[in-house]
Amino acid sequence: MIMILIGPPGSGKGTQAQRLEQRLGAVHLSTGNLLRDEIAAKSSLGKTAETFMNSGQLVPDQIAVEVVAEHMKRGEPDTDYILDGFPRTTNQAEELDRILEERGLEVGTVVEIHTNDEVLMERLTGRFACANCGEGYHKSFKRPKSDGVCDKCGGVEFEVRSDDREETIRDRLGVYHSETAPILPYYAKKGLLVRVDGEKAMGDVTKEIETILIDGR
Ligand code: AP5
C-alpha cells in the first residue's frame, strides 16, 4: 500500500503519519525529515536544501525525488509507505509514478488534509519538538503530560523548527497554494483522491483516514 498525505504546512500530515504507521504496519516517509537529516549531517545535498527550506521555498524537484528514490531503494520491495510531504509538484507526482512502476507498485490512496490558513498559523507558531527523539508537541493542543519533560523519551530539551517563523510560514502557505494544491486534480482524475477535514480533533482525523482505508479507497 502506498498512501500519500497532502496538505498545507501544519495541516497534520506528520501527526497523522506518526499515528497511522504503527496501526498500518507502514513506513512513514517524510521528505521534510529526510532533508533535515541531510542538513544535520552537513551533506552537500543538505547544504543546498537548507537555503530553500529556510526561506520557505520548495527544494528543487531533482533533490526531493533523489531522497525518496534512495530511501525506497534501501527498503524491502513490498514495504508499505505513508508519504508525508511528497509529491509536492506535478513533476514529482509523475516521477513518483515512475519510481513505483519500476518496483511493480502504484499509488493506492491520496488523502488531502484540508485546513484553513488561519488555523495553520496558530498551529505552526505553537509547535515544538523533543530535541532528543523528535516527538512533536504544541503549546495549546498537545503539551507534554509533565511540563518540560518529553512523554516519549524523558528528554528535557525542546526545539522549534527554523522555518516556523511567521513570515516564513506565510511563504510556505503561498507555495502550497501555488505549487502543491495544483497536483490534487492529477490524483482526482485517477479516482484516488479523498478529502478529510483537518480542523477536527487529531483522533477524529485519524479515524476518518482509517475508515477511508477500510472502505478500500
Ligand atoms: P515539511 O517538513 O514537509 O513541512 P510542511 O509541509 O511545511 O509541513 P509541516 O511539517 O510544517 O506540517 P504538518 O502538516 O506535518 O503538520 P504537523 O503534523 O507537524 O517540509 C519542510 C520544507 O522541506 C518545505 O518547506 C520544503 O522546503 C522542503 N520539502 C519537503 N518536502 C519537499 C518536496 N517534496 N519537494 C520540495 N521541497 C520539499 O502539525 C503541526 C502542529 O499542529 C503540531 O504542533 C501538531 O501537534 C498540531 N496539530 C496537528 N493536527 C492537529 C489537529 N487536528 N488539531 C490540533 N492541532 C493539530
CATH classification number, 2-116+166-215, choose in 3.40.50.1970, 1.10.357.10, 3.90.79.10, 3.40.50.300:
3.40.50.300
Q: Report how far residue 157's alpha carbon sits from residue 66's, in angstroms, rounded to the nearest whole number.
A: 32
Range with lowest mean pLDDT among 10-14, 29-33, 44-48, 76-80: 76-80
Rounded Cα distance between 160 and 217, Å, is 36
Q: Which of 103, 142, 143, 161 is catalytic?
A: 161
Does the CA dihedral 109-115-208-13 come out positive or negative?
Answer: positive
Residue 122 has pLDDT above 70, yes or no: yes
pLDDT at 78 over 90: no
165 noted as active-site residue: no
Q: Please compute the mean of the pLDDT values over residues 52-59 and round it to a whole number.
A: 96
Average pLDDT of the chain to the nearest whole number: 94
How large is the average pLDDT for residues 163-190? 96
Measured from CB, residues less than 6 Å from any atom of ligand 1 are 7, 9-15, 30-32, 35, 52-53, 56-59, 64, 85-86, 88, 92, 123-124, 127, 136, 138, 141-142, 163, 172, 198, 201-202, 205
> Model confidence at 138, in pLDDT bands (50, 70, 90)?
very high
Report pLDDT for 216: 63
- Region 28-42: mean pLDDT is 95
Per the listing, cell 483522533 goes with 203
Q: Which residues contact 151 (CB under 8 A, 6 or more apart)?
A: 135, 144, 145
Q: What is the CA radius of gyration of the chain?
A: 17
Three-state secondary-structure class, residue 118: helix
> Quick check: is 103 catalytic?
no
